[in-house]
Amino acid sequence: MRIECPICGSRDRREFYYRGDAIALARPAPDAGDDVWDAYLHLRDNPAGETRDLWQHEGGCGAWLVVTRDTVTHAVHAVELASDVKRAMA
Amino acid sequence: MRFSGLRVLREGLTGNRGWTAQWRDPEPQAEYDAVIIGGGGHGLSTAYYLAKNHGMTNIAVLEKGYLGGGNVGRNTTIVRGNYFLPGNSEFYSHSLKLWEGLSEELNYNVMFSQRGVITLFHSDAQRDASARRGNAMINQGDDAELLDRAGLRKLLPYLDYDNGRFPIYGGLLHRRGGTARHDAVAWGYARGADQRGVDLIQQCEVTGIDIENGKVRGVQTTRGAIRAKKVAIVTAGRSGQVAAMAGMRLPIESHVLQAFVSEGLKPVIDHVVSFGMGHFYISQSDKGGLVFGGDLDFYASYAQRGNLPMMEHVMEAGMTLMPMIGKARVLRSWGGIMDMTPDGSPIIDKTETEGLFVDCGWCYGGFKAVPASGFALAHLMATGQHHETAAGFRLDRFRSGEGLMDEEATGSQHNLH
């Protein structure tokens, strides 16, 4: 499995650390309540198919990335800088 | 049909013409008292104990493929009761006791081999932690022995004791742990459930869960609608998809875990050896193959196959621990889909929908739990009360933060357990 880092180019999966679902970018307000925090920390759509998750290019430039990929085929469809995604969310 | 040595002898002398199918292949009925989604180890043992312990025989197990075709047929067959935390330890202790009587109970040879599970330690601090875990196991009523280096060397002379990075200081021996014949467990429970009248329906995929006014009414399947007042989701790595049919999101992320087996060799590894620092464990099957594995590939996956980096890592760890295996050739490798929870412990609970139950979140430890999981879920479905050995496996513990059972204290990230 290779991941196309927007900064470094196509690199081996071993250079990347997997953090989990990209829901991690949507951190709730501290006082959002138990249910919202439970959903953020624990509950997952866990799709068999296309998913978006958060990786870090720890063995390269260190950038945090949002990777759109397929959990059934392991195909990587798109890689964006998490900072860009976060800006677009705001 | 009852199996016995005499029967095997007689059939052997008469051309094996007397064996019959071990379970029926029934058509689904329009309604059951309870339906279990998933014909794996946990689903089949649930059906067995519902029928045997609670007299519920008008039930069905719905399996989209074939019985025992998922993780119960894809694991590395290790059985142990060496958990530390309250909530887990009584459950796995109960499961180990059920394993010890399982072949007789089911009249089916599950080849449970109590060859001992040895967990290695590599520093003074790890020795202390192993002693503490061993004491917890003894307090639970199970067995544990702390072996020093000399004691361990008698059992495992082939390890690299003076490894530069992880010198071996000793090991925690759990004699009652071991391995079992994984398929036989599924088949034995299937046969036992079928004999008690349970319908085991294969090639029957659930496509929807019918809910009215907060109560479950039944399921939609590829073989028609089936009504039931009680429905249990027992679908391991696919739990998320099935739960979504009931409008639920589960605290589960599915990950691929690889395993490997070598060509058949003469007996050389007599125990289950666990090398935590290398994320490596190994045993030898009765057929002679070295059965070994490591950690998750670490990214969410439903592929039932892993990638090469983790394969390389596992091989390196094996070579670090026991260089003697270097000339063995790997025969095959495969992957299973693990239902990882945020604390590494499972879920056996009711849901917000009345009559709907979940049994999931077994991470990569589900095989050893097959007997006690079915026992506890059957108890919950039949009586509405949590069984005392599984009372901690609540779905809401993540939201409340109360009663989390995080054996490795790695926090709420699903893949770190």
Q: Do the Cβ atoms of B70 and B265 come closer than 8 Å?
A: no
Using CA coordinates, name the residue in chain B closest to A41.
B412
Number of CB pairs < 8 Å for A and B?
Answer: 75
Query: In terms of Cα–Cα distance, which of B148, B212, B134, B209 is closest to B177?
Result: B134
Indicate whether B85 belongs to any domain: no
- From the list A34, A46, A73, the residue facing B240 with the nearest CB is A46
Per-residue pLDDT of B25-75, as tens digits, reads 999 999 999 999 999 999 999 999 999 999 999 999 999 999 999 999 999
> B239 and B314 in one domain?
no
Distance from CA of B16 to the nearest CA of A (A): 43
Distance from CA of A89 to the nearest CA of B (A): 23
> B284 and B382 in one domain?
no
Indicate whether B106 belongs to any domain: no
The terminus-to-terminus CA distance of chain B in angstroms comes to 43
> B288 and B165 in one domain?
yes
Domain boundary among B318, B340, B362: B340
Residue B408 pLDDT level (bands cut at 50, 70, 90): confident
Pairing of the two strands B59-62 and B199-201: parallel
Chain A interface residues (partner B, CB cutoff 8 A): 1, 12-14, 18-21, 34-35, 38-39, 41-48, 51, 53, 55, 71-74
Indicate whether B289 belongs to any domain: yes
Q: Give me B59's structure tokens.
A: 């039930």
**Inter-chain touch B238–A14, beta carbons under 8 Å:** no
Residue B331: pLDDT above 90?
yes
pTM given for the model: 0.97
Q: Can you tell me the distance from the alpha carbon of B37 to that of B49, in angstroms, rounded to the nearest whole number? A: 15
Q: Do the Cβ atoms of A22 and A54 come closer than 8 Å?
A: yes
Domains of chain B: total: 2
CATH code where residue B300 lies: 3.30.9.10
The interface predicted TM-score (ipTM) is 0.96
Q: Can you tell me the distance from the alpha carbon of A17 to that of B65, in angstroms, rounded to the nearest whole number? A: 34
> B168 and B124 in one domain?
yes
> B34 and B165 in one domain?
no
**Inter-chain touch A71–B254, beta carbons under 8 Å:** yes
One-letter amino acid at A25 equals L
Per-residue pLDDT of B167-198, as tens digits, reads 999 999 999 999 999 999 999 999 999 999 99
Indicate whether B232 belongs to any domain: yes
> Can you state the angle between helices B182-195 and B366-383, rounded to 10 degrees?
20
Domain boundary among B322, B340, B358: B340
One-letter amino acid at B9 equals L
Per-residue pLDDT of B238-292, as tens digits, reads 999 999 999 999 999 999 999 999 999 999 999 999 999 999 999 999 999 999 9
Range of the domain at B190: 25-78+182-251+344-416
> B302 and B164 in one domain?
yes
> B330 and B259 in one domain?
yes
CATH code where residue B240 lies: 3.50.50.60
- From the list B238, B241, B399, the residue facing A34 with the nearest CB is B399
Class of the domain covering A2-89: alpha beta
**Inter-chain touch A48–B254, beta carbons under 8 Å:** yes
Q: Give me B265's structure tokens.
A: 């060799």
> Which residues, listed in sequence order, are joined to residue B296 by a DSSP beta bridge?
B257
> What is the model's pLDDT at position A90?
87
> B165 and B128 in one domain?
yes
Residue B321 pLDDT level (bands cut at 50, 70, 90): very high
> B257 and B174 in one domain?
yes
> B140 and B265 in one domain?
yes
Cβ neighbors of A19 (< 8 A, separation 6 or more) are A53, A54, A55, A56, A64, B413
Per-residue pLDDT of B114-147, as tens digits, reads 999 999 999 999 999 999 999 999 999 999 999 9
> B365 and B219 in one domain?
yes
Which residues in chain B have Cβ-Cβ distances shorter than 8 Å to A54? none
Q: Do the Cβ atoms of B177 and B117 come closer than 8 Å?
A: yes
Q: Can you tell me the distance from the alpha carbon of B96 to that of B140, in angstroms, rounded to the nearest whole number? A: 12
> B259 and B169 in one domain?
yes
Domain boundary among B281, B306, B340: B340
Which residues in chain A have Cβ-Cβ distances shorter than 8 Å to B301? 71-72, 74
Q: Give me B348's structure tokens.
A: 């056996």
> Which residues, listed in sequence order, are joined to residue A56 by a DSSP beta bridge?
A17, A64
Q: Give me B355's structure tokens.
A: 């009559």
